[in-house]
Structure 1
Amino acid sequence: MRVFWLLLVSLVPGLLWVYFFYRQDRYEPEPIRMIIKAFIYGALAVIPVGIIELPFANQITANTNLIKLFLLTILVIGLTEEFFKFAAVRYGIYPSEEFNEVMDGIIYAISVGLGFAVVENLLYTVVFGYQVGIIRAFITTLVHASLSGIAGYYLGLAKMQRGSEVTLITIGLGQVVLLHGIYDFLVVGNLISMTVVMMIVIGFYIYLIRLIRRANRMSPFKS
């Protein structure tokens, strides 16, 4: 029974978001096997992230120095998590012939982000309980999907615009590292209310939706 509830709290929300965003790819939906592959890569990305972040856990959660906390959330949480999610797409999916439009970068990156979020939420639920797991299912899962999708948009542009790859990847990855780090700084530091947290998450989501619409307009498969 415990396993059932753990899966319900962590896995189901992630899969529902995968389905939702997959449906946003209007003109050439990706093969399901590639979506599953991306999701698994995201889940595996938790391993190197955990190895890097774990030694800093106490410094982050118990830090009262806001400057130090800000640096830790940017450089340890934001950079580490967004880099490894990005790397999963760049080196695991990007070379595939199936990755052939900007929208693909968004969809694959979101799938990676949700795979990562599911495993992370599962671990948090085991350690901190179902209440934390439920909150993360509604908030953190969408944060990972949105930020990964934003970076994926720029990765998709990079593949379509050869010669500008470094610049576009730097812009995309740089954005989400900062957004993720600042978000965690505000949340971990208890500097904002839950209402403001929700407003920020909705802001990430709206930004992503705008990029999805733009990517669909650019699709070479649009009839």
Structure 2
Amino acid sequence: MPALSPKSVLEGRSSNRAPVSLIIGLVISGVCMLLALASYFAMDPGAPGNVVIGMLLALPTAIVLVALILLIDRLEPEPRLNLLVAFGWGAGVALLGALIVNSLGESVLAVVLGPEPATVLTVSVIAPVVEESFKGALLLFLLVVRRGEIDGPTDGIVYAGLCGLGFALVENVLYYMQGLASVPGEIWGTVLIRGVVAPLGHPMYTAMTGLGIAYAATHRGVGRVFAPILGWCAAVFLHALWNGGSVLFGFGGLVLAYLVEAVVLAVLVIVLVRDRRRLVHLIGRYLPSYIPSGLVAPNDIQMLGTMRGRRGARNWARHQAGAVGAQAMGDYQLAATELALLHAQAERRTIDPQAFFARRGQIVTLMGMAREAFFRRMPQPKQPAPWARNQQSGFFTVPQQLHDMPTHKLRIPPQPPQPPGRPGSWS
């Protein structure tokens, strides 16, 4: 069996190949997005350039918001393929599915209720339910198939936000096309509303589902069953409030919906800040148990607690040992963060003991390999960075054997018996 790469270990994969389910999901999402754009062209075949112009108008907002989400995700970044699938699902599968279902629903209602009531009911009720269901399906998939990737509220918000941004990107193309085909100058009002005033609509709605999924992934008990349902209900409510408020009550309803969503946005920011502090607390709580082994030092824990400290450590490692040193330091930082989160899972009993010990063995081996890679490239001892001064153990020393460490000091369940002949090293 070939050795796992650092990237595979950090992403919790059992092989160096990308998961087939994610690749299939990405391909399906791409095909669905192309079909959605083709349907837009079919709606307005006389102006093929409107599709291109609409995409150009929609891209700047999407790029800025994707960068913002990636900025939020720096402390414990999610696998890039997972993030790409989340964005693609929103832009492809969710968008095309919602377009089909909404259109069929409005057609049926038009026969029963008439065109105008059908449009109002579709926009204010059916569309929020259908769209949040399609977007939430991706999060439910992650909960069932890739549950280990969701370690807290931030992960739920990140995946949900990217899914919502993908949906908003392609949907905005349609609205901008309609603006280009209508009264001259109306397009800029549409761009102002959808691209400047309320660009966080879809990401915010789906973030409610993401919070529910994150709770289910990190907790036990009855609450984990109801949390995703409550999150989805909150997403539908916010979506319906925005759509229905503007349709039924005009500008006043739009202002009310905007104020409510501003409050929700502030709450999400507070959740993100508190979750960042929680992760720093986990690092300070669990990693000191590894100090006696030499794997971690007190200065390492301080460095891992801030983005500034991590960036400074990588810069110092690059100065000492080049690009390999910087990569080794980055691998060490991410592995140490994953180790703290792994202990949190064990304490909450959301991971079984055997899986815990297997995963811990991979992580601590990666941390040791990262240190060795640094030393192989480091030509000679140099002046340590400020955060590493007086450091006697950790990244810059060879650790003692981890199996000598008392298990009861690690706040983990007893190690299950190993079958005879089972290799203890990372391979």
TM-score, with normalisation over the residues of structure 1? Answer: 0.83
Tell whether 2:260 aligns with 1:206.
Answer: no
State which drifts further: 103-112 or 175-184: 175-184
Partner of residue 77 from structure 2, selected from 29, 47, 52: 29
Structure-2 separation of matches of 1:215 and 1:62: 45
Letter in 1 for 2:116: A
Structure 2 counterpart SS, 1:191: helix
Structure 2 counterparts to residues 18-167 of structure 1, below 5 A: 18-44=66-92, 45-57=94-106, 62-63=116-117, 69=120, 72-73=122-123, 75-92=125-142, 95-96=145-146, 97-129=148-180, 130-131=187-188, 132-163=190-221, 164-167=223-226
Structure-2 separation of matches of 1:36 and 1:216: 23
Q: Structure 1's 208 and 156: CA in aligned 2 closer, same or farther, altered over 3 A?
A: same
Letter in 1 for 2:214: G
By how many angstroms is 1:159 displaced? 0.5
Identical counterparts, % of pairs: 25
Q: Which runs of 5+ in 1 are unaligned?
A: none
Structure-2 separation of matches of 1:93 and 1:118: 25
| CA-to-aligned-CA distance 1:128-155 (integer Å, 9 cap, x gap) | 3332244212245311111112221121
Structure 2 counterparts to residues 179-198 of structure 1, below 5 A: 179-193=238-252, 195-198=255-258
Q: Aligned residue for 1:8? A: 56
Letter in 2 for 1:171: L
By how many angstroms is 1:209 displaced? 1.5
Runs of 4+ in 1 over 6 A off after TM superposition: none
* Number of aligned residue pairs: 219
Letter in 1 for 2:136: F
By how many angstroms is 1:190 displaced? 3.9
| CA-to-aligned-CA distance 1:179-209 (integer Å, 9 cap, x gap) | 2112211112243345445434423322322
Letter in 2 for 1:55: L
Structure 2 counterpart SS, 1:189: helix
The structure with the largest alpha-carbon Rg is 2
State which drifts further: 114-123 or 23-32: 23-32
Q: Structure 1's 112 and 221: CA in aligned 2 closer, same or farther, altered over 3 A?
A: farther
State which drifts further: 149-158 or 27-36: 27-36
Structure-2 separation of matches of 1:26 and 1:202: 24
Letter in 1 for 2:140: R
Alpha carbons 2:157, 2:207 under 8 Å: kept: yes
Q: Aligned residue for 1:170? A: 229
State which drifts further: 25-34 or 40-49: 25-34
Letter in 2 for 1:103: T
Structure 1 counterpart SS, 2:117: coil
By how many angstroms is 1:17 displaced? 0.8
Q: Structure 1's 196 and 181: CA in aligned 2 closer, same or farther, altered over 3 A?
A: closer
Q: Which runs of 5+ in 2 are unaligned?
A: 1-48, 181-186, 285-304, 306-427
| CA-to-aligned-CA distance 1:86-120 (integer Å, 9 cap, x gap) | 10222157622433333211100100000001011
Alpha carbons 2:95, 2:170 under 8 Å: kept: yes
Q: Structure 1's 62 and 128: CA in aligned 2 closer, same or farther, altered over 3 A?
A: farther
Q: Write 1 or 2 for the structure with the bigger share of helix.
A: 1
Alpha carbons 1:110, 1:145 under 8 Å: kept: yes
Structure-1 separation of matches of 2:251 and 2:77: 38
| CA-to-aligned-CA distance 1:33-70 (integer Å, 9 cap, x gap) | 32222100111110110111113458698339xxx94x
State which drifts further: 37-46 or 130-139: 130-139
Structure-2 separation of matches of 1:186 and 1:205: 18
